[in-house]
Structure 1
């Protein structure tokens, strides 16, 4: 099972301010899938890939959003325990810092 499996609270520091969203990653028959909820919409995550590294588990994915703007986002994060850190990118816009913590029920 991947270390990213579960629910995460992410914060993205963007040029328009900090955006918070809830991300959920699940494994179904060995295939990792996910969704994100924030800014009044829920969107699927695509192209999720996981690789092991010296710093932790590296996870990348793509996501399309329509709020606050229509954007195609790409994420690249490192998961260590119950925290993650990395960056997201929306097309030609500058990279945005991403941090997150696992949500505990």
Structure 2
């Protein structure tokens, strides 16, 4: 058992050198696999290499706005809060915080 549920909708704020960027990440389980998408800056992208191990959550995503970047997120979950950072290639890491918007649905 992973112990901490991550399914749901998360409101993220990424503190970048060019300002704060808001994004929404949706995480869900499909056939036992964790999948997700991220929305922000007028685009929606799938999450890749999504892993959840205990209180640690990490994923990668590509964005084209405000510029074309491949981002890697490394987050820690504490109840309904996410904290961590994202990194784009050799650029400095950006602090990321998030709050769960809704509770996970149970069947």
TM-score using structure 2 length: 0.90
Tell me, in whole angstroms, the C-alpha distance in 2 between the residues paired with 1:88 and 1:3: 21
Cα displacement (A) at 1:4: 1.4
Consecutive unaligned residues in structure 2, runs of 5 or more: none
Tell me, in whole angstroms, the C-alpha distance in 1 between the residues paired with 2:36 and 2:102: 17
TM-score using structure 1 length: 0.92
Tell me, in whole angstroms, the C-alpha distance in 2 between the residues paired with 1:104 and 1:36: 16
Match for residue 15 of structure 1?
Answer: 17
What is the aligned-residue RMSD (CA, Å)? 1.3
Q: 1:59-98 alignment to 2 at 5 Å? A: 59-98=57-96
* Larger strand proportion of the pair: 1
Cα displacement (A) at 1:104: 2.8
1:40 to 35, 39, 42: 42
Tell me, in whole angstroms, the C-alpha distance in 1 between the residues paired with 2:67 and 2:28: 27
> Deviation string for 1:41-85 (max 9, x for gaps)?
000000001111xxxx10010000000000000000001110010
- The ranges of structure 1 where at least 4 consecutive aligned residues each deviate by more than 3 angstroms after the TM superposition are none
